[in-house]
Amino acid sequence: MKKTIRTNYGTPPSRPIRAAGTNTAVPESRSSLAQIEAALEGAGLVVLGAFHPGPEDGVPAYSAQHGTATIVLGGNGGGAMWPFFEAYARHGENPLNAWSSDLFGRLAAQFGARAASPADGPPFHPFQRWALKSGQVFASPVGILIHPEYGLWHSYRGALLFAERLDLPAAVTRANPCDACREKPCLSACPVDAFQPGIYDVKRCAGHIGGNKNAGKPNDCRMTGCRARHACPVGQKHAYPPAQAQFHMAAFIGKHGTRDKS
């Protein structure tokens, strides 16, 4: 499957375009995609997509008076964000969500945007649907969205919503990297076979990561990250550092399971 995607998010738009179909002035943003990209880079994050949403996309309005004409998705591509998060004064049950919300709130104020977070809700924003709409990612056999550069090592930390219709980079057509992957090692790497085509057994996965049946033996999934992700040949250089992998796995166990007492 091929998809038209946008590239060169560091290229500044030539000019902002006001929302069509109305004479009402929309708030002017104080940004270009290059500026947004630079600001995200200052926190170890990247622009993971941007598009002009329609009513079917479920994107919140910029304000009560103005709809959203452009949405920019930001997040981590690999582990570059980890040192910035580690320096953050962690608090609450979900410190990564708190860090992300604080960061995107400040970015929204800086650029004249509205911030949206995957943690907002319920109801929760459809970030995965937005990601697919942006054209930057594809579905993978293990259910995680795959990025042509970052592979399975990326995550959406927030979005910036603009009343202005910003110019976006030229789109190019790329194929889903999974289509050319005959072996699909991601499906056979899991030590407990939690992944099957179209199926992810969360309980089995959580039981393995949080279990103590193999006490005394290293659990590499818990210590260095999911084996299925590591097996994917795309974006391997962007694999999370061990400290970040352990943080995510601990959060996963806290949400989906308890440690096996056997």
191-229 tens-digit pLDDT? 999 998 778 999 999 999 887 655 555 578 999 999 999
Q: Tell me if 261 is assigned to some domain.
A: no
First to last CA, the chain: 45
Q: Tell me if 191 is assigned to some domain.
A: yes
pLDDT band (50, 70, 90) for residue 93: confident
Query: What confidence score (pLDDT) does residue 15 get?
Result: 36
Distance, CA of 192 to CA of 42 (rounded, Å) = 39
pLDDT band (50, 70, 90) for residue 159: very high
Above 90 in pLDDT, residue 54? Answer: yes
Q: Tell me if 172 is assigned to some domain.
A: yes
Q: Tell me if 135 is assigned to some domain.
A: yes
How high does pLDDT run on average in the chain?
Answer: 86
Pairs from 13-17 (Cβ < 8 Å, separation ≥ 24)? 13/166, 13/167, 13/168, 14/167, 15/167, 16/164, 16/165, 16/166, 16/167, 17/164, 17/165, 17/166, 17/167
In total, how many domains does the chain have?
Answer: 2
Burial class (CB in 10 A: 0-12, 13-18, 19+), 248: middle
Of 219, 232, 256, 226, the C-alpha closest to 244 is 226
> 151: part of which helix (H) or strand (E)?
none
Opening angle at CA 251, ends 204 and 220, nearest 5:
60
Q: Tell me if 262 is assigned to some domain.
A: no
122 and 172 both lie in a single domain:
yes
32 and 85 both lie in a single domain:
yes
Per-residue pLDDT, averaged over 223-248, amounts to 96
143 and 220 both lie in a single domain:
no
Question: Is the previous residue joined to 169 through a cis bond, with omega within 30 degrees of 0?
Answer: no
Distance, CA of 97 to CA of 125 (rounded, Å) = 14
Burial class (CB in 10 A: 0-12, 13-18, 19+), 102: middle
Distance, CA of 5 to CA of 170 (rounded, Å) = 8
Which of 178, 200, 228 terminates a domain? The answer is 178
Per-residue pLDDT, averaged over 80-90, amounts to 90
174 and 193 both lie in a single domain:
no
Q: In which domain, by residue range, is 61 found?
A: 2-178
Above 70 in pLDDT, residue 161? Answer: yes
pLDDT band (50, 70, 90) for residue 21: very low
Distance, CA of 185 to CA of 249 (rounded, Å) = 21
Q: Tell me if 164 is assigned to some domain.
A: yes
Query: What confidence score (pLDDT) does residue 2 get?
Result: 59
